Amino acid sequence: MISNFFQEWPLRLHPEQYSVLLKHKSTALKTIRVCLLLLLIILTGFQVIAQKKYDGLVQFSGVVVTGDSLRPVPFVSIIIKNSYRGTISDYNGFFSFVAQMKDTIEFSAIGFKKGQYVIPDTLDTDRYSLIKIMTTDTFLLQETVIYPWPTKDQFRQAFLNLKVPDDDYERARRNMALAEMRDMMYSLPMDGSGNYKALMMERQNKLYTAGQYPSISLLNPIAWAKFIEAWQRGDYKKKKED
Domains located in the chain, CATH noted: 2-52 (no CATH), 57-134 (2.60.40.1120)
Q: Which residues touch 149 (CB under 8 Å, ≥6 apart)?
A: 155, 158
Beta bridge partners of 130: 62
The answer to whether residues 119 and 100 touch, using CB atoms and an 8 Å cutoff, is yes
CA distance 142 to 11: 113
- pLDDT above 90 coverage of the chain, percent: 22
Beta bridge partners of 66: 134
CA distance 169 to 172: 5
| Res 6: pLDDT | 47
Q: Which residue has the higher pLDDT, 150 or 127?
A: 127
73 pLDDT tier (thresholds 50, 70, 90): very high
Quote the pTM value: 0.47
Does the pLDDT value for residue 17 go beyond 80?
no
Does the pLDDT value for residue 1 go beyond 60?
no
Q: Which residues touch 55 (CB under 8 Å, ≥6 apart)?
A: 100
Average pLDDT over the chain, rounded to an integer: 78
Does the pLDDT value for residue 22 go beyond 80?
no
Does the pLDDT value for residue 110 go beyond 50?
yes
Helix and strand numbers, DSSP H then E, in the chain: 7, 7
SS3 at position 85: coil
CB atoms within 10 A of CB 107: 24
What average pLDDT score do residues 96-115 get?
A: 92
